[in-house]
A and B are shown apart, each in its own frame.
Chain A
Amino acid sequence: MAIAQETKAHTHPKMKISSRSIVLWVGVVFMVVFCLAPALWQVLTSFKTNAAISALPTIYFPSFSDLTWDHYTSLGAGFWRYVFNSALVSLLSTLLCLGLGAPAAYTLARIKLPGESLILGGILIVSLFPYVLLFLGLLEIVKFVGLGNNYLALIVPYSAINLPLTILVLRSFFQQLPRDLEDSAKMDGYSTVQMLLKIMIPLTIPALVTTGILAFIFAWNEFIFALTFVTRDAMKTIPVAVAQIGGSSVYEIPYGPIAAATVVGTLPLLVLVLFFQRRIVQGITAGAVKG
């Protein structure tokens, strides 16, 4: 990275730009280290032998004898089942959340409705409720509707929990779009729904992707509901499966296998984010900024 920074500095004749790019690269390096260091430590743990994990002094650069695949093989092929469950639940809840949230956000941003501020206030207030404390009431609902051990018992609450964020973020984006767009679309004879689907939604892709990613990650990692509402082994999600990884005794926390499970369980998320993050850039400003 240092090389890249220097070449960049040299190609620009003005001093101002080079100092700017130095600041930028210092920031980038700081950010990457800040974000990656604990995660990389986790990756390293997943490859270390149990002895190396708790060795003193701490091992930063393990030799070959300190490394092992065992933690990964100990997960077994069954782990993919949990990855699949998490993917299914997260995907459907994210789609449901965006599918319901985007139209609602548009309405709240553009169409004047009686009692609108009341609804907005309600959404705001609901978002303040600590979600962990919902579980007992939700448990009764789940039991009542007969959704125990059913993916829907997770999909619906996850969507609802992410809905306030989705609505508020998308609403602020819709509000920032110039009104002329809609006016001219209306002149061209578009209906409200058509306009929403063909003009507004494509323009808010950065916001959709952003909230979608946040909602997806939330659903992927949620623990308490997933633990309580689903007890059938074949339907458990990754965090619950990780909590069931055992060591040599009930007291032991098996750091190695847990780290391995985390790595396996997070890779799909990384691929997803890597794929979709481009979309954040390609919004209304696609022409102005180059990725």
Chain B
Amino acid sequence: MSQSYLSRLGRACARITLWPSGLKISGLKILEAVRGKIAAVFTVLGRGHSRGVKVRWFKFGAWIVGTLVLLQWLVVPGFSQSPVKIQVMMQALEANQWQEMEAAFEEANPDIDLELVEAPNATNLVEDLYTSAFLLGDSPYDLVYLDIVWVPKFAAAGWLMDLSDRLSPEDEADFLDGDLAGGRYQEGLYRIPFRSDGGMLYYRTDLLAQAGYDPPRTFDDLIQISQSVQEQGLAQWGYLWQGQQYEGLAAMFVEILRGHGAFWVDPDSLEVGLDQPNAIAAVEFLRSTIEKGISPPGVTTYAEEETRRLFQNGNTLFLRNWPYVAGLAADSPIADQFAIQPMVHLPGEESGACQGGWGLGISATTPHPDEAWRVIEFITSREVQKQFILDTRYVPSRRSLFNDPDIVAAYDYYPQLLEVVENSVLRPPIAQYAQASDILQRYLSAAITGRMTPEAAMQAAARETRNVLGRA
């Protein structure tokens, strides 16, 4: 569908007949002319007549002009020509946060008009919108603002331009490894990271101190401390995580997998590791948090916000979530009573933070790749990113910013945050990621809600994933 059948047909027709683009212009001219005529007639007639007639003509004229204006509006879409227009679409919320950068960019680059198109805040809808724009051939978007998990699919579909040659070695060294790795697909680099993200563990410092514990290091610590704190009546719940059937479930799970030394899909060999014993143990851990009453049964329906609200209400000890919670919780009943650390793991294994985040890619069909690259350079540059982080409290994609004095002065926990996001783990960068993720979500959801045993669920998930990857 890179070209629609209809448009192929259309090109054939266009050779024979006039086609709408031509018609539209002549239609516009006719409209303008007619409107002018009527306006003239209406002023002439309006002049020398008695009042009643005048009113009648006025009504008639107004009616016609109104109709024409309406028609013109319906038929003719806006057409404004300015220097070089670079369009990028993003969530409305973030487009608002970009306003200042946009203004600063345009001031520094008067020959480029950067236009931010607002999309709904649900990221799957943004993905849908980009997808349908690309499916129709020439996308109106020169730049693509990408979530890290879209990269393989968009790159495999041939919608993005390879940026490997454009990125300077200095920048390459400064960007977080995981964030940069998430922008690669096979040999190419398709996304320059702008703001990073990573999952981590929040814990209540006051409750731990009261119960006399150090922060947990392993999964067993987490369970033990939770149970003990719950028994002492210090907290209603021990540990909150995202268990709803959605992308966040897969993101949370890769951290548990890493902590168990297991893997999901190896991007190079396309080997699937979900049915290996340590992966099944990871699922058993999640299931046990519910069975032991550490996590509320409803955790299987929670996304980020539900868990954050519960944690902020004050009666939960641990929470797995993204960095955004730190900003909001600092302004809640538990302010100054929580801290962050990397996710727990098995003894002898490493912890991993699920790599998230957003960056910019260039559409393969844009007529202005150089101008688009100038936008990327500007937006992802150290100074611009720093100001953006200071304004919005997002996570930088440049290592050097985490310890920047101004940033640390504003957000004192950013050095710890660096520790978290440097140990990142990627969701598998494979073209069929969306499908693989859906399979995992379904079976993981079945396992944690008790519909299937962890073993059966992971075996089924592994089998279906292998089918999708053609490795059955």
Contacts and interface: CB of A to CB of B under 8 A. Distances in A.
Contacts of A149: 77-78
Interface stretch (A65-73, A106-114, A224-232): A224-232
A248 B121 contact: no
B74 A141 contact: no
Interface residues of A, number: 33
B83 interface: no
Contact of B305 (A145, A148, A245, A253): A253
A250 B125 contact: no
Interface in A27-67: 54, 56
Interface centre among A146, A231, A243, A251 (most CB of B within 10 A): A251
Interface string B69-88: 00001110110000000000
Given A247-B93, A250-B93, A232 B305 contact: no
Contacts of A56: 313
Nearest to A56: B313
Nearest to A249: B324
A205 B123 CA distance: 45
A198 interface: no
A148 B7 CA distance: 14
Interface stretch (B104-112, B128-136, B185-193, B461-469): B128-136
B124 to A, nearest CB: 11
Nearest to B392: A249
A247 B94 CA distance: 11
A188 interface: no
A274 B107 CA distance: 52
B121 A244 contact: yes
A277 interface: no
Given A251-B305, A251-B322, A143 B7 contact: yes
B78 A244 contact: no
B129 A146 contact: no
A144 interface: yes
B91 A246 contact: yes
B408 interface: no
A227 B328 contact: no
A136 B322 contact: no
A243 B125 contact: yes
B451 interface: no
B65 interface: no
Interface in A245-274: 245-253
B122 interface: yes
A75 B89 CA distance: 21
B384 interface: no
Interface in B309-362: 309, 313, 322, 324, 327-328
Interface in A115-150: 135-136, 139-141, 143-146, 148-150
A228 B91 contact: no
B4 A243 contact: no
A136 B74 contact: no
A174 to B, nearest CB: 31
* A-B pairs, 8 with minimum CB distance: A246-B93, A243-B120, A244-B92, A251-B304, A140-B4, A140-B6, A144-B6, A249-B324
Given A54-B309, A140-B7, A144-B4, 7 more contacts: A143-B4, A150-B77, A152-B74, A231-B140, A250-B93, A250-B123, A251-B305
Interface of A: 54, 56, 135-136, 139-141, 143-146, 148-152, 227-228, 231-233, 240, 243-253
